[in-house]
Amino acid sequence: MVETLNGGAAMNPSIALKTLKLLRNPIQIQNQKDKDDITLTARETEVLEHLSKGLSYNAIADNLILSTGTIRKHIENIYKKLQVHNKLEAVQKAKKNNLI
């Protein structure tokens, strides 16, 4: 504490370096974390690709020969995994993370 009062660093050099790196590149660190955590099933990816083309739930269901309820459940799971709240966010995040 005396060192800090005399103009010294409030934290040790290694902590200061890590803090500066985080401040300089917060988006890169967050994006890397997001990429590592996201894993979609093959069917979820397929549904998301159809969603990115602007198809409705009914159209996706018809194309994949599934019920609309099943499509809704897949999309619900996709939203949870991607941590998003709507179609646009889901598609944007999936493209950003090279999932589709």
In the chain, count of helices (H) and strands (E)?
7, 0
Per-residue model confidence (pLDDT) at position 33: 54
The more confidently predicted of residues 84 and 28 is 84
Question: What average pLDDT does this structure show over 4-17?
Answer: 73
pTM of the predicted protein model: 0.64
Query: pLDDT tens digits for 16-72?
Result: 777 777 777 766 545 555 555 789 999 999 999 999 999 999 999 999 999 999 999
- Averaged pLDDT, 80-93: 94
Which distant-in-sequence residues (6+ apart) come within 8 Å of 21 by Cβ? none
What does the pLDDT read at residue 23? 77
CB 91 within 8 A of CB 52: yes
